[in-house]
Each structure stands twice: as structure tokens, then as C-alpha cells.
Copies of this chain bind each other. A is one copy, B any other.
Amino acid sequence: MSLSSKKLFPLKGNQVWTKETLKKIVDDFYAWYERHQPSAKQDKTGLLPSDSLREVDQLVSDLSDRLGKESIPWASQNYIAHMNTDIPLVASLTYFMTMLYNPNNVTPEVSPVTTALERELSIDFCNLLGYNPASGWAHLSSGGHASNYEAMWIARNLKSVPYAILQNEQTSMLIADKDQLVNMPVPKILALLDQVAKMGLYTEIIELAGLLRHDSVLKNGKVLLSENCHYAWDKCLDLLGIQKNNVEKIAPDKYLRTDNQELYKRITWLIEQNIPVIAVVLFVGSSGEGSVDNLSAMFHFRDLCQKKYGQSFYIHVDAAYGGYFRSVILDDQHEVMPYEKLKLEQPAAYLLKPEVYNSLRDLPQADSITIDPHKSGYVPYPGGCVAYKDRRLNSIIATQSKYFGQHPDEELNFGPYTLEGARPGAVASAVWSVNRLLPLNSGGLGMLLKDSLKTTLAFTQIIKENQSFLVDDHLFHVLNLYEPDLTINNFLVVPAKKGTSFEEADALNKLLAEELKSGNKDYINLFFSGSQVNYQTFKKVFKDSDLQSDHENTRLKLFRSCLMKDIPTASIKGQWNHFLGSLTDIIRNQNQI
């Protein structure tokens, strides 16, 4: 972290400044308030707190005490359990300031300033993700769930549009190639809708597409995604009426990424059988492992499908946690820097594996992308965002036909285009101000993420170099499940003793986690959260491991750490040794030798 960006976070040296800034914010707000409500000025009673203010005082100070005592200590350099970054003061200050004026970005009528900021954010995020800001669009949401829901809603609705166009007598002639109906390329569907809109038949076609959806798409269509996906994805698909028979979950490969070979095989089969591929969902930074799917190869495969079969499919990328890492490879003109240049000039960015670099570079080929400012974007909750390659996609879910081909970044309301309605303008202010001070490129916010990448590499090295420990005469190992693609690490403890079963190893790791939790609350809070791996995946990673099981889907408890900050190597090393010491004590005291 550079000295100047360090100053954006709480330090003794800026404590006074923070209070002075809040004073100005409050004075400005009171001046505004009095201008609009002159009677407020006259009430000067209670320059000393009145009874009711005393009651508020008590409530505020009690809650402040409680938060100080019981909150998770994410500010600690030693805290690496959950996905928490430090928050720049400016984000909290502008959030608070804007909240006082309480704008709602559902429509500019009640949020003239913050809707304008959100329009600037659309450009920021298009630039970050490689979309053309003139034809793409990004908007804020409450978080990854809402973003994924919205994108998948669009993907689902789009899928039956060609059937509707074919069925309607007036528009059927627009479909030249009926063989393409089932898996029509997204840009082609949008072009057809442009024509339909010009004919004044947009609403009719969209409604008909709804009526035809089940028989044409949902009866046997498929969404393909990794079985390692967050449970949020099960909610998303169920919400949209995409049931178990519509979902093909793909086992991860040995890097904990979606297995592309398996995807190619299944998609080819689906296309050849004329079965609709509703969408393929890929991950840039899976929630559990932080793994980055090999997007480049997948986009290439999609191009081949289009060439060979004239068919294609929607690709959504859930980059809620990982999308911001694209900033690491961008120069200050939002251009991707060549990998070799990173090697020479950006050693920290060069820490990215070449295939991860490629995926980040090629991200803009996705039709839509979920990215969470409240994960790697250094803003407090609630900050989500969803971006679309083609802004016409949002019109698919807008309820009024007049919106097609238009877009909400000019004078129209955001509300009819988005899954959500009321959205706090304060979030726009927080994200906007962070983006202004820490631009979404290698020299801005990317600096902070490079620090996290360095920390992760150091942590992984330390585990590798100090992975064995003795409890009395018995040897135990700590194994990294994989080399992190980004900044999440999963590891497990196994006895060196031959003949240990997979289930026994699971029991040991569960016991260790439980004891670390109950014996020393600090550990669960500071050092790890929980994760799991099934036997099938485990054997892909450690094909020579002694640990055996008869059940492919039996699972093993893992320790998961999120390294979202700059931690000196010596400090991590100290923590690690302390952690191994605790493990040793537990194993001995619990007779696990």
C-alpha cells in the first residue's frame, strides 16, 4: 500500500480530520435543513441535551460499546477469516453525508445528484470490465444475490424470444434460419427485437415469449455451472423456476475451477440434440476457493460452436469477489497491459497466473457480470453491481415496450429496468468517491489488491515451508488444497500415519475447528472460516494421497482464509506458528494421536 493510499484508512494522524470533516458535513446539512424548514432554526432550546436527547445519548453510547466489544475484529492485521477489507474513511463519510439527504436511486425525481453519480459509475464499471461504456451498462444493486438474479432473469427471458418471433404471423418472416431457434446467438436475438420494436410488436412478442417459455425452454433447457457454486445459486435458479432437471452441475477440476473439458462435452451434446442451453455460469473468484475459471478457453469454444453449428449461448460470469482484480492488469487508460510487461514493470500483478491473467483480460466477452463493490471494492455494505455487455439486455425485463433500444443512463428512470426498486443513493456516493480517489486500474485500487496477492503468496509459501508439525512422536501435515488463483486459501490437517481414512481426516479437522472456536474464540474470528471439499475433488487434487473413502460425495471439512490486506510476512509467520502450536495442544489434549 502506498503511503498516500494508507492515509485513506483510519490512523491516529487523521482522527481529528475525520471529526472535523463530520462537523462540516453536519453543519452543511443543518444549513440545508434550516433553509427548507426555517422553524428548525428557531428552536434553540436544548443547546444542552433535553431528556429525549439524553435517552438517545444512552442508546447510542450503549450500542457503540456493544459494537466495540463484540464486532468481528476485521481491522486486525491478523484477521483473515472472512471476506472483509478495510474501508477508506471517504466511503463511510460520503455514505453518511448522502444518507442525511436520503436520495433514492429508483428515479432521478428523488435523487438528482446520486442518479447522476450512478451514471458515472456505469462508465467506471464498463471501463473496469472491458465493456464499451456507450453500448454496455452497469448499475448498482444490494449485492451479488440481486445481481445474479437479474442477469439470469434476463438470460431466461431472452431464450424463448425467438420462438415467439417465429410463432407470431407478422414477425415469423424475420427468422430466416429455423435451425438456429433453440440456441440463437444473443446479439442476433437483440437485433431481431430491434426489428420487432420498429414494427410496434415488442410488448406482444415479449408476452408471447413468456407464454411459450415453459414448453420451448424450461421443459428440457439447461443451465450449466460448477457444483462448487455458492448456495445463493440454488436460490437463484429455484426463484426463476429453473428446477433440478434444468441444472447441470459440473464437478470442478484439480484447480478447483469449473472443468472446461466436461463443459465442452456437455454443451456439444446439448447443441447436437437441439436442447436449449439457457446459460452457462462461470466464476471469477468462487466464494469458497477464490478460483478463477478458464474463461478464455470457454469463450473460444463458444466461438467455435457458432462457426460449426451457427448456435451459441448466454454466458454470465459471477465475479462478485474477483471482478475488481481486473484493475490489477489495467493501465490508467483502462487498457489491458501485456503479460510480459507486467513481468518487467508490475511484479505484483505478475503474481497472477497466466491463465488467470487471460481470464481477466477476456472477461468482456461475457454477456453479463456480477461484481460486488462491498467485496473487493473497498466500500461498506450494501454495495453490489451488475454489468451488461449490451445495454439492450435490460430492456428484456423492463415492463414497458417503449424502453427497448433505449437506456436508463440518460433521462429515464432506473426502476423499470432493474430487479430492485428503492436503492439508496448513498451507496452511489460511497462507490463513486472511492473510485475517484482509487481509480479502477493498476495504479489506483489495483495497488491494494496487489498487496493482497502478495500476502496470499507469502501465506501459501509459509504453509508449504512449515507444513509439518510433531505432536510428541507423531507427524501431522497441513496441506494447501490448491495454489490460490486470487486471495483465498483452503487448507486441511492430516496425520502422516498410514491408513487414515478420508472420513477420519474429516473428523479430525472438524474437531480442530470446534476446539479452536470454543477454546479460543480469537481463532475462529481471526484466522479461518469453514469450507468443504468432496472426496471426488480431493482425489483429483491429491491423486497419490493415502486418504481413502468409498463414497465419492463424502465431504471433508477445510479451513478457509481470505487474505484481503497487506500483512508483513513476519507477522503471518508468527501467526502460523502460533496456530500450529494451538493445533498441537488440541491434538494432544483430545487424544487424537
A residues sitting closer than 8 Å to B (CB atoms) are 4-19, 21-34, 36-37, 39-47, 49-53, 55-57, 59-61, 63-68, 70-77, 79, 81-82, 84, 87, 89-90, 92-104, 109-113, 142-146, 149, 153, 157, 207, 210-211, 213-214, 218-219, 231-232, 234-235, 238-241, 243-245, 372, 374, 380-382, 384, 397, 399-400, 415-416, 419-426, 429, 433, 436-437, 524, 529
Contact = CB atoms under 8 A, between A and B. Distances in A.
Contacts of A424: 380-382
Contacts of A77: 36-37, 39
A53 B8 CA distance: 7
A234 to B, nearest CB: 4
A15 B21 contact: no
Tallying the copies of this chain within the complex gives: 2
A53 B90 CA distance: 9
10 smallest CB-CB distances across A and B, nearest first, come from: A241-B241, A381-B424, A36-B76, A13-B46, A142-B142, A210-B243, A4-B52, A143-B422, A145-B421, A96-B96
Contacts of A12: 30, 34, 40-44
Chain A residues touching B, majority SS:
helix
Given A56-B8, A218-B214, A102 B87 contact: yes
Contacts of A32: 67-68, 71, 75
Contacts of A113: 63, 66-67, 70-71
Contact of A10 (B30, B71, B81, B415): B30
B419 A239 contact: yes
A252 B52 CA distance: 44
A36 B102 contact: no
A382 B142 contact: yes
Given A18-B30, A71-B101, 11 more contacts: A12-B40, A14-B53, A22-B26, A29-B68, A37-B77, A63-B97, A64-B97, A70-B113, A71-B103, A72-B110, A207-B243
Most chain B CB within 10 A, of A57, A59, A100, A422, is at: A422
A404 B276 CA distance: 34
